[in-house]
Amino acid sequence: MQSEPNRCMLKQFCKKGHQLCCNFIFGPEKKRMRLSTSSETDSDKSINKMPSNANAKASYIKTMLKTADAVCFDVDSTICRDEAIDELAEHLGVGDKVAELTKKAMSQKNVEYKDTLRARLNVMKPSRQALHDFIKRHPPKLTPGIMELVQELHNRGTQVYIITGGFDSIVQEVAKELGVPSQNVYANKLLFFYNGDYAGFDETQLTCRSGGKGRAVKLIKEKHNHKSIIMVGDGSTDLEAAPPADACIGFGGNQVRETVQREAHWFIHSFKELTNVLQAAA
């Protein structure tokens, strides 16, 4: 069993002299990936072997799903019905402006995610207390069928991970609902001054950058020696994760994004479609 990473508290000072308080993780989670010396990775090979015909490709992904070592899920508009950052912005009274920024970020592939995240957070400036109140008043709105799907995956011994550009403190509540271990969550971490005011976000997290989901998948593969991983999500950042994920299943049960519907290796509208595949294989 892998031990919990050691944590320590580090005090930092910004240019104005305010103290910052943030958690830094040492141990297994800080390992950097070995770069493959091969020009073509195993995930590249899996994707290159896929049939071009849509129906044949879907059948190929269904077979892959039955034997995958792990499945990684996005959260907003995938595991959950809503976009948490928009809901938090609404809670803070800046919903309209942030919703427009979120829509733009999710529909474009050439935008640096860190920049859009910073722009939205600079508008929101969520305090620690405001975040606590939001979590208390807004329990996770799980998408129908996700609980059964995760349970089926767990029953089969398939590992489940959550990879999201959302905020760790909110996503951990979702993970609890689904029975996903906290260490299987890859999300962004907010930073606060000691008085609880918003101080920024941890820019060392993989998921705050464009392509971050792919980096997280690579880390998971090396860390746990997974040979086959499938990414499931509704947005363009989920497409970017395959490769290194061996396939991307686009999800349109809450939002249908044209780019994802067109480019995903298999596009579904309900999690029951995946559960049915797994149960048929039992």
pLDDT of residue 236: 83
pLDDT of residue 45: 52
Mind listing the pLDDT tens digit for each residue in 225-248? 999 999 999 988 888 898 899 999
Q: In sequence order, which residues have a C-beta less than 8 Å from that of residue 105 and are 6 or more positions away?
A: 111, 113, 116
Helix %, strand %, coil % of the chain (to 5): 45, 20, 35
User: 64-281 adopts what CATH topology?
Assistant: Rossmann fold (3.40.50)
Compute the average pLDDT of residues 150-154.
95
Compute the average pLDDT of residues 65-93.
92
Residue ranges per domain, the chain? Answer: 64-281
| Whole-angstrom distance, CA of residue 84 vs CA of residue 187 | 13
Which range has highest mean pLDDT (16-25, 50-59, 149-158)? 149-158
| pLDDT grade for 263, boundaries at 50, 70 and 90 | confident
Compute the average pLDDT of residues 239-264.
90
Q: Which own/partner pairs from 172-176 qualify as long-range (CB within 8 Å, at least 24 positions apart)? A: 173/135, 173/139, 173/140, 174/75, 174/79, 174/80, 174/140, 174/142
Encode 173-204: b = buried (16+ Cβ within 10 Å), e = exposed. Answer: ebbeebebeeebbbbbbbbbbeeeebbbbbee
Catalytic residue among 42, 74, 86, 202: 74
Catalytic residue among 42, 44, 76, 197: 76
Strand partners, 200: 191
| Whole-angstrom distance, CA of residue 44 vs CA of residue 100 | 35
pLDDT of residue 31: 34
| Whole-angstrom distance, CA of residue 152 vs CA of residue 165 | 25
Q: In sequence order, which residues have a C-beta less than 8 Å from that of residue 171 and are 6 or more positions away?
A: 75, 84, 162, 164, 185, 187
Question: How far does CA 32 lie from the centroid of its chain?
Answer: 19
Whether 8 has a pLDDT exceeding 80, the answer reads no
Q: Is 76 a known active-site residue?
A: yes
Q: Is 168 a known active-site residue?
A: no
| Whole-angstrom distance, CA of residue 38 vs CA of residue 40 | 5
| pLDDT grade for 57, boundaries at 50, 70 and 90 | confident
